[in-house]
């Protein structure tokens, strides 16, 4: 069963604009992670935010976590064509070892 | 460091044939995972391992078996392939639970 669900399913923006993707989940978590997948490639880890953190930054990425709403957002600032990819959120399920992935947001950045 | 290496990268099987997908990691990670990715379904966990000699079922384990005889290797077996197993398979590993996953580049499997 999917734990995280990304929204929107697809997003198309112009280079230089900001891109925001959202993730909602159902049960309590220890941490939430975001991954990127370029077409035909494996997933690459972007950022991990723990349940006691509210915001985290990494370069042009900003992730927020609202545990009361069971939601997270990933903001990519000043987007580039190379940011075109699918973005997935993944959550653990309490003390479980398993990461459960959402279905992803397909981001297209037009030059 | 090669990271996580999957072999083969592509494979075509006939219904009923068997095969083994190999995953190898050189990062001394305890945890290893097999996921499948289907269009519109995201990634779904097939089996995972929390250490050498251990395996456990994930969300969609039916039709698959796994073994972790050596810490660095995690094998995924299909005993009798079915068209429903046509998918892209990803192996991943992590140092410990709750930490980030390192993924292989995937195996594209078609079952005719």
List strand residue ranges (DSSP E) for chain B, in order.
4-7, 10-13, 19-25, 31-38, 42-49, 56-57, 65-67, 73-78, 87-94, 102-103, 107-111
What HEC string does A44-58 produce? EEEEEEECCCCEEEE
Q: Name residues 16-55 of chain B within 8 A of A (Cβ).
A: 31, 33, 35, 40-45, 48, 50
pLDDT of residue A92: 87
pLDDT, greater one: B97 or B52: B52
Nearest chain B Cα distance for residue A15, angstroms: 26
B89 interface with A at CB cutoff 8 Å = no
- Residue contact A2–B42, C-beta within 8 A: yes
Q: Name residues 21-40 of chain A within 8 A of B (Cβ).
A: 30-31, 33, 35, 40
- Residue contact B42–A102, C-beta within 8 A: yes
Lowest mean pLDDT among A97-106, B1-10, B23-32: A97-106
A31 token code pair? 């941490």
- CA distances from residue B67 to A110, B19, B77, B93, B98 in whole angstroms, order as listed: 44, 13, 8, 14, 22
pLDDT tens, per residue, chain A with 111 residues: 556 788 899 999 999 999 999 999 988 888 999 999 999 899 999 999 999 999 999 999 999 999 999 999 999 999 999 999 999 999 987 656 688 899 999 999 999
Decide if A75 contacts A11 (C-beta within 8 A).
no
Give the residue among A111, A90, A107, A110 at the shortest CA–CA distance from A38.
A107
Residues 6+ apart with CB under 8 A from B62: none
Residue of B nearest to A51 (CA): B98
Mutation test of the interface with chain A: which of B91, B100, B104, B105, choosing the one with the most A Cβ atoms within 10 A?
A: B100
CA-derived radius of gyration, chain A = 13
Give the residue among A21, A20, A34, A12 at the shortest CA–CA distance from A81.
A12
């Amino acid at each position: 069963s999917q734990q995280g669900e990304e929204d929107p399913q697809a997003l198309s923006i112009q280079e230089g604009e900001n891109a925001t993707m959202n993730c909602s989940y159902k049960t309590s978590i220890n941490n939430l992670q975001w991954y990127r997948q370029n077409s035909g490639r494996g997933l690459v880890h972007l950022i991990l935010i723990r349940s006691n953190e509210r915001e985290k930054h990494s370069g042009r990425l900003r992730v927020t976590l609202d545990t009361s709403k069971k939601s997270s957002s990933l903001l990519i600032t000043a987007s580039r064509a190379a940011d075109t990819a699918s973005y997935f959120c993944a959550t653990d399920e309490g003390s479980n070892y398993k990461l459960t992935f959402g279905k992803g947001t397909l981001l297209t950045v037009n030059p | 460091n090669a990271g996580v290496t999957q072999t083969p990268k592509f494979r075509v099987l006939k219904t009923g044939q068997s095969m083994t997908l190999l995953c190898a990691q050189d990062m001394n990670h305890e945890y290893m995972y097999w996921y499948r990715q289907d269009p519109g379904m995201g990634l779904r966990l097939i089996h995972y391992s929390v250490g050498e000699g251990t395996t456990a079922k994930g969300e969609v384990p039916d039709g698959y078996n796994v073994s972790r005889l050596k810490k660095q290797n995690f094998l995924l077996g299909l005993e009798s392939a079915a068209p429903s197993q046509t998918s892209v398979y990803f192996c991943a590993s992590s140092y410990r639970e709750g930490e980030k996953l390192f993924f292989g580049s995937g195996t594209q499997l078609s079952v005719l």
